[in-house]
Amino acid sequence: MSHKTPGQLLYTNEHEWAHIDGDIATIGITDFAQSSLGDIVFVELPDVGRVVDQNETFGVVESIKSVSDLYSPLSGEIIEVNNDIESSPEQCNQNPYDSWIIKIKLSNEDEVQSLLSSSDYIDLCNELS
Amino acid sequence: MNLKKTSLFEEHVKLNAKMVPFAGYSMPVQYTSVKNEVYAVRNNCGVFDVSHMGEFFVTGKDAISFVDYLMTNSFASVPMNKAVYSPLCRHDGTIIDDFIAYKLTPERVLLCVNASNIEKDWKWITSVQNEKQFDIELINSSAEYSLLAVQGSKTIENLEKIGLEIEHNLPYYSATEGHFQNSLVIIARTGYTGEDGFEIFIKNEMVETIWKKLIENKVIPCGLAARDVLRLEVCYPLYGHELSDDVLPNECNLNWTIKPEGRDFIGKNSILNSQQRSKLVKISLDKGIPREGYPVTLEDKTNIGVVTSGTMSPTLNKGIALARLNIEKFDSTKPIFVDIRGKLFPAKIQVKPFYVLGAK
């Protein structure tokens, strides 16, 4: 089954996407992730102002039958969270790339190089399918 | 690990089901959406492949008295064709499994057991036969039989559409033998979803025909995830979660299955003389989703128990769970909480199942 993987985004092995705009990264979960999880019923958001390291857990996404950690693709300070996701978590299923979860002000822009391109991420998803 | 496959494995793959290892089988956990599959059963009709479950036939002169001795519930006293649910206990009262016995004829009983316990149950049941010299023959037909659970208020219409003759007046928790295209089928008005519905025991070679006809008639294929949510909404216990080798029936809300009057059964003395150490409660949360293994606490974080099964209920749109509480630590006047990743969420204990309509 093919999943949407927009070319302008970067990806992680843990199935988050990141949109980089200067030193701000907008982060959500991928189409592959939402499809694997099934009906998403809860997203636990972090506090604004929290500083996270790359690959650190920053929240939780729950489907009817499972609980999965969310990992920060990059290091930095969480400057904004998407409160709409809390009240309508199903948006992550419907529009995973419009349903951002957090925005981070990057503390180490070099880390962006470690993220996967869309073609690398498609390969990863194909291996897992 | 080499996983076993049910006769419908290829059909599940064709329908893009997510297959997961379960009790040694590769089983469909969901096809499209757990929520939609739950709604299909609650509002219309869904079909589950539960062919991994075990079927033992008990035949012979003592078939009924043997099964009656095997279970805490009374089997000898119920009319012909009835089905009886019971825990299967050891002499010390601990639970080996739970099962349903179908009284097909005076000398033929079908036992349906959990897939994960087939070997354990078979070993136990044959040992009981040897111990007591019942005049019976035991046959483990688990490998030859498939089982479909067709569940929901529109089940009868759908089964008739595919040419399966259904006795409309068959009481809930009863079974009858019939034919489907010259193949013997056992049709039981049972299930584990809380809805009206039927379970169809059929030889492996015929199951694909029935399955395909049901799917062609728009019956929704449902996976194990939906089945687990549905049974939890009606608070049915599940072996490996609420029931286990370490607990007694009265610690699992199964007092109603203990029928000691005028009969002997395995574990009777232990069960009747046992001290209850824990109790199973039904809890719901306005916020937060309880999951198996999460601690249940008092306000000061004193641990008083654990969630045995928990989920987000699509039907009620809130977190629901069964939880095992330590009798000594539980105080019904004090509020209780579920510890979800270190935060305490208030939980309400309720008496009735979360969902009570449906099954007749």
H/E element, B308: strand B303-313
Q: What is the DSSP letter of B152?
A: S
Please, are residues B38 and B228 in contact by the beta-carbon 8 Å criterion?
no
Q: How far is A67 from chain B (nearest CA, A)?
A: 9
Considering only CB atoms, B289 lies closest to which of A1, A39, A42, namely A42
A44: left (phi over 0), alpha (psi -120 to 50) or beta: beta
pLDDT at residue B168 in the model: 84
Task: Identify residues of A whose CB sits under 8 angstroms from chain B CBs.
Answer: 1, 38-39, 41-42, 44, 60, 62-65, 67
Chain B residues whose beta carbon lies within 8 Å of the beta carbon of residue A1 = 16
pLDDT at residue B100 in the model: 98
CB burial of residue B221 (10 Å; 0-12, 13-18, 19+): buried
Task: Identify residues of B whose CB sits under 8 angstroms from chain A CBs.
Answer: 16, 29-30, 33-35, 225, 228-229, 288-289, 291, 311-312, 314, 341
Q: What whole-number distance in Å separates Cα of residue B357 and Cα of residue B196?
A: 9
A1 has pLDDT over 70:
no
Q: What is the DSSP letter of B250?
A: G
Chain A residues whose beta carbon lies within 8 Å of the beta carbon of residue B314 = 39, 64
pLDDT at residue B360 in the model: 58
Chain B interface, mutation test: which of A62, A64, A86, A92, most B Cβ atoms within 10 Å? A64
Asked if B311 lies within 8 A of A63 by C-beta distance, the reply is no
Which residues lie below 8 Å from residue B143, measured CB to CB, with a gap of 6+?
A: none
Q: What ipTM is given for this predicted complex?
A: 0.88
The arithmetic mean of pLDDT across residues A105-118, rounded, is: 96
Q: What whole-number distance in Å separates Cα of residue B4 and Cα of residue B24?
A: 6
Chain A residues whose beta carbon lies within 8 Å of the beta carbon of residue B312 = 41-42, 62, 64
Residue from B36, B42, B95 nearest B231 by CA: B42
Q: What whole-number distance in Å separates Cα of residue B194 and Cα of residue B233?
A: 8
Please, are residues B320 and B157 in contact by the beta-carbon 8 Å criterion?
no
Asked if A60 lies within 8 A of B291 by C-beta distance, the reply is no
Burial code (b: 16+ CB inside 10 Å, e: under 16) for B61-75 equals: ebbbbbbbbbbbbbb
pLDDT at residue A74 in the model: 97
Per-residue pLDDT of chain B (360 residues; tens, 9 = 90+): 789 999 999 999 999 999 999 999 999 999 999 999 999 999 999 999 999 999 999 999 999 999 999 999 999 999 999 999 999 999 999 999 999 999 999 999 999 999 999 999 999 999 999 988 899 999 999 999 999 999 999 999 999 999 998 888 899 999 999 888 889 999 999 999 999 999 999 999 999 999 999 999 999 999 999 999 999 999 999 999 999 999 999 999 999 999 999 999 999 999 999 999 999 999 999 999 999 999 999 999 999 999 999 999 999 999 999 999 999 999 999 999 999 999 999 999 999 999 987 765
Please, are residues B31 and B37 in contact by the beta-carbon 8 Å criterion?
yes
Please, are residues A95 and A29 in contact by the beta-carbon 8 Å criterion?
no
CA distances from A88 to A42, B241, B297 (A): 8, 31, 29
Please, are residues B202 and B55 in contact by the beta-carbon 8 Å criterion?
no
Asked if A64 lies within 8 A of B291 by C-beta distance, the reply is no
Question: Hey, what are B270's tokens?
Answer: 């232990």
pLDDT at residue B148 in the model: 98
